[in-house]
Amino acid sequence: MKQLVYILLTVLILAACRRDNRTPLFDLAYPNFRFTIEAGQNPIIPGAYAIRGIATNIGFFLNQNNTDTSAFTQINPYTATLRCLDGFDYVFMEGVSVRICEDGTEACTPADEVFYIDQLQRYPEDDRIDLLPGLRNVKRDLSRESYRLEIVVFFAFSPPANYASQLDMVFRAYR
């Protein structure tokens, strides 16, 4: 009986696995978002840095690739990097969450996360952090004229100095 259950589970798992049939069409690069993490912030409360009214430049990307929004089904996070422009390392950070949402008065929610990293205290000290892409499809947000960007920083302890930081993001459109 046990063997039958294992065989059945194996068949179900293999049947659930599918190949990724998505075809990448083009990348949407959004570089040079600058903000400053100020010294002495409360480590219990995450630092939130919001930038409103960021142009998506969707018309530019569509013209460059000779296409329109009906040609692709999704836009997914691809890669992002957070760098300290002063050369300091980010030893005081525990995690980072990058969120994008509709440009309005409402703040982004954790469900709007596109890039993240956590448990930074386990990694070597560095002035550059490569963020992990989320699974969220952001076609709706990046097909509009503008969006709101929020960078949420979780602290392990208070930042010892001001950290001039830069976020660079790349999204990829798929057919």
47-55 and 146-155 beta bridge pairing: antiparallel
CATH number of this structure's domain 22-174: 2.60.120
C-alpha span between 70 and 89 (Å, rounded)? 43
**Type of residue numbered 97:** S
Q: Is the pLDDT of residue 20 over 70?
A: no
**Type of residue numbered 72:** F
**Type of residue numbered 96:** V
pLDDT at 14: 67
% of the chain exceeding 70 in pLDDT: 93
Do 147 and 112 contact (CB within 8 A), yes or no? no
Residue spans per domain, the chain: 22-174
% of the chain exceeding 90 in pLDDT: 43
Do 95 and 82 contact (CB within 8 A), yes or no? no
C-alpha span between 173 and 55 (Å, rounded)? 17
Tell me the pTM.
0.83
| pLDDT level of residue 49 (50, 70, 90 thresholds) | very high
Mean pLDDT of 84-96: 89
pLDDT at 22: 76
Tokens of 135: 């699974």
